């Protein structure tokens, strides 16, 4: 009797638990950007910045053009002229 009960239990379909739908994670370059612009830096790289372009004084007395509020680690990035 126990063997028959066990056989019947093993034959029954086991419902699979439905996984919640996955929300795709957005890569930083795929996000919708508002109000920003791509700039070409003095080091030869492209950078995306949200702030205005400003002129900042250098130690030698000249002016350097920089983009502000940029993505990444640096708040100001020197731009290529």
Residue pLDDT, tens place only, 1-59? 777 777 766 777 767 777 777 766 655 555 555 688 999 999 999 999 988 999 999 88
- pLDDT at site 26: 56
Asked if residue 50 is part of any domain, the answer here is yes
- pTM here? 0.54
Asked if residue 72 is part of any domain, the answer here is yes
**For residue 66, pLDDT beyond 80:** yes
Q: Quote the number of domains for the chain.
A: 1
- pLDDT at site 30: 52
- pLDDT at site 3: 79
Q: C-alpha distances in angstroms, 81 versus 23, 35, 63, 65, 67?
A: 42, 22, 12, 8, 12
CA 63 and chain centroid, separation: 33
Q: Catalogue the E-assigned strands of the chain.
A: 37-40, 46-49, 53-57, 63-68, 76-78
Domain that residue 71 falls in: 33-81
């Amino acid at each position: 009797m126990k063997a028959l009960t066990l056989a019947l239990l093993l034959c029954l379909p086991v419902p699979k638990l439905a996984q919640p739908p996955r929300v795709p994670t957005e890569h930083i370059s795929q996000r919708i950007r508002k109000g920003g612009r791509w700039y070409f830096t003095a080091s030869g790289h492209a950078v995306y910045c949200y702030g205005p372009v400003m002129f900042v004084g250098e130690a030698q007395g000249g002016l350097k053009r920089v983009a502000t509020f940029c993505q990444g680690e640096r708040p100001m990035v020197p731009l290529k002229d």
